[in-house]
Amino acid sequence: MGSKAFKPTLRNSKKISSFLNHPEKALSIIHVAGSNGKGSTCSMLSSILTESEFKVGLFTSPHIKDYTERIRINGVEIPKAYVVHFIDRIKAANFDFTPSFFEITFGLALDYFKAEACDICIVETGLGGKFDATNIINPILSVITNISLEHTAMLGNTIALIAGEKAGIIKAQTPVVLGEMDIKAERIMVSTAHNLESKIIQSKPFSSTSTSFNLPLLGKYQLENLTTVLACLEELNQLHFKSTNTCIQKGLDNINQNTGFSGRMQLISLKPRLIYDVSHNPAGISASLKTLNEINNGKLHVIFGTSADKDLMNSLPLFPLSTRMYFTEFTNNRSLKIATFRQASETLNFEEKSYFTNPKQALKAATKQSSNTDTILIIGSFFLISDFL
Which of the two residues, 151 and 28, has the higher pLDDT score? 28
pTM: 0.87
CB atoms within 10 A of CB 240: 10
Q: What's the pLDDT tens digit per position in 7-21?
A: 778 999 999 999 999
Percent of the chain at pLDDT > 70 equals 96
* Domains 2-259 and 266-388 are alike in CATH topology: no
Q: Residue 144: which residues within 8 A CB-CB, separation 6 or more?
A: 32, 33, 34, 129, 166, 167, 169, 170, 176, 177, 178, 179, 181, 189
211: pLDDT strictly greater than 60: yes
Q: What's the pLDDT tens digit per position in 248-292?
A: 999 999 999 999 998 888 888 889 999 999 998 898 899 899 989
Domain ranges in the chain?
2-259, 266-388
Amino acid (1-letter code) at residue 368:
K
Homologous superfamily in CATH for domain 2-259: Mur-like, catalytic domain (3.40.1190.10)
Which of the two residues, 323 and 157, has the higher pLDDT score? 323
Q: Specify whether the CB–CB gap between 127 and 151 falls below 8 A.
A: yes
Instruction: Check residue 44 and give its pLDDT.
Output: 98
Q: What's the pLDDT tens digit per position in 97-128?
A: 999 999 999 999 999 999 999 999 999 999 88
Class of domain 266-388: alpha beta
Instruction: Check residue 127 and give its pLDDT.
Output: 82
